[in-house]
A = this chain, B = another copy of it.
Amino acid sequence: MVVVRMNKVTIAFQGENGAYSEEALIKFCELNSINFETKNVYSFRKLFEEIISGCGFGMVPIENSNAGSVVANYDLFSEFADEVELVGEFKLPVNHNLLVKSGTKLSDIKKVYSHPQALSQCSNFLEKNGIEAISFGDTAGAAKFVSETDEAQVASLSSVLCSEIYGLDVLSDDVKNADDNTTRFFLVKRKGLEFNYDLTKSNKSTIFFRTRDFAGALYKCLGAFATNGFNLTKIESRPSKVKKFDYVFFVDVESDLTGDVAEKCLEELSFFAKDVKIGRYYSRE
């Protein structure tokens, strides 16, 4: 028996230690027996820079079941479509906790700091309690800030892990708008970079394209999938940044899009779309 020694990979994530992105990448790597270490950066653009010209890997949040797409990352995928590849998809159930310094009561709180997505996911609770929502780069950074600031009457929305790391109390673990709050992540690598773990069984794809310029083009593009039997699970449009109120599209398909029928589908798509790019990956909940 030949024992292959797996390379240790460094995977970047956005935010402070304790961020949900770090939790997601730890869980994905453990489930898939990937030998890894983590590296944090402080913006999504820097995360893509790490993937393209740094450590080569990154865990990128792409969608939350309640707040919707993380559009900044869709735009970065659009900008760097030629330089990155999707490796895996992972869905992390997320629970936000209201973290405070010891002794702070709910009625004391005037401001809560967190990532805009977390604030959006807890908007009903914040409006009901008259608490001002203040955006912060990430949920874990917000916890760190609350632990260090001289400001009284403040809280953060962050992971339980953060309460341990930054010495805060969990005042409430029940502040979300919807009970079912899950964030989707892509594990992304630099195009062409070797990755010798056995995630080769792709079962899902995301296709990026621009429609050609004629009436009904989007309908015909979607028809390439529908008429060949591929079910779309999501469609996302983002400004093309080429023309005003012109869009690029990302569609998710429950198939790795290989084989004769998939080839026919992609040929048909290319007839109505341009700049078509496909990411095939392994989805694991």
Contact = CB atoms under 8 A, between A and B. Distances in A.
A68 B72 CA distance: 10
Interface residues of A, number: 43
A234 B222 contact: no
21 contacts: A45-B127, A63-B245, A66-B241, A67-B71, A68-B71, A68-B239, A71-B71, A116-B135, A134-B135, A180-B244, A182-B244, A216-B226, A216-B231, A216-B232, A218-B222, A218-B232, A219-B219, A219-B222, A220-B226, A235-B235, A236-B237
A233 B216 contact: no
A223 B184 CA distance: 29
A120 B72 contact: yes
A172 interface: no
A130 to B, nearest CB: 11
A116 B245 CA distance: 19
A17 to B, nearest CB: 19
B134 A244 contact: no
Interface string A209-246: 00000011011101101100001111111110100110
Interface in A94-130: 116, 120, 123, 127
A77 interface: no
Given A45-B127, A135-B116, A218 B244 contact: no
Contacts of A64: 239
Contacts of A65: 239, 244-245
